[in-house]
């Protein structure tokens, strides 16, 4: 019963987060990523796939925070690095302390599945976002509605499918 409240909390937090006028990744992307994390854990999806979505969520939250700090004119030494480390530590440390990360039977290629998924998901979500901005700058406009969402989420969906069949 407790885990259902956790999933409801994640979904509700995603819905009621304040929406700002200019964001690095839109709220729709972030809610989609948060929903993906909750659903994958609920349905017992492999940890590497869950990690992909967690990594994407961490990238979105980090970029949102950096944009918010920039808008509020908050500057400090190593703001990008420190913000990134803090977000990743806030996720990885509790998972490690609860033996979700580091379990000897939860490895693929000698690396923890969840951590590998977080690493790969972070990279591909970020690259998808960069691809959107590059294409938008080159063309002067977006090619289709919700292009930013499609470019950010599609690599995660493709990788989820690949890892699903690799870990069966």
Task: Give tens-digit pLDDT for 6-58.
Answer: 555 555 455 444 444 444 455 655 566 556 666 766 787 888 888 888 898 89
* Residue 105 lies inside a defined structural domain of this protein: yes
Residue range 102-130: average pLDDT?
A: 87
Q: What is the pLDDT of residue 29?
A: 57
How many alpha carbons fall within 13 Å on the CB side of residue 138?
7
Number of domains in the chain: 1
- Record the pTM: 0.72
Instruction: Determine, yes or no, domain membership for 7.
Output: no
E strand segments, 51-142:
107-108, 111-112
Instruction: List pLDDT tens digits, range 65-105.
Output: 898 888 888 888 888 889 899 888 888 888 778 777 887 88
Q: What is the pLDDT of residue 123?
A: 92
The answer to whether residue 97 is domain-embedded is: yes
Which residue has tokens 């961490």? 58
Q: Does residue 22 belong to any structural domain of this protein?
A: no
In a domain, 8, yes or no: no
> What kind and span of H or E run contains 151?
helix 147-166
User: Which residue range(s) make up the domain with 161?
Assistant: 39-166
Q: Is 87 inside any structural domain?
A: yes
Is residue 20 domain-resident? no
**Is 120 a domain residue?**
yes
């Amino acid at each position: 019963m407790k885990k259902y409240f956790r999933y409801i909390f994640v979904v509700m937090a995603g819905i009621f987060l304040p929406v700002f006028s200019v964001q690095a990744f839109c709220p729709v992307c972030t809610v989609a990523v948060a929903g993906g994390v909750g659903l994958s854990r609920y349905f017992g999806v492999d940890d590497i796939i869950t990690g992909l979505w967690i990594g994407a969520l961490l990238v979105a939250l980090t970029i949102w925070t950096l944009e918010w700090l920039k808008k509020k004119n908050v500057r400090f030494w190593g703001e990008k690095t420190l913000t990134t480390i803090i977000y990743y530590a806030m996720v990885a440390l509790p998972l490690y302390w609860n033996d979700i990360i580091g379990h000897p039977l939860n490895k693929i290629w000698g690396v923890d599945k969840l951590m590998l998924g977080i690493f790969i998901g972070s990279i591909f979500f970020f690259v998808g976002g960069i691809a959107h901005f590059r294409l938008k700058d080159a063309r002067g406009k977006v090619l289709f509605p919700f292009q930013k969402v499609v470019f950010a989420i599609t690599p995660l969906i493709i990788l989820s499918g690949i890892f699903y069949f690799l870990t069966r």
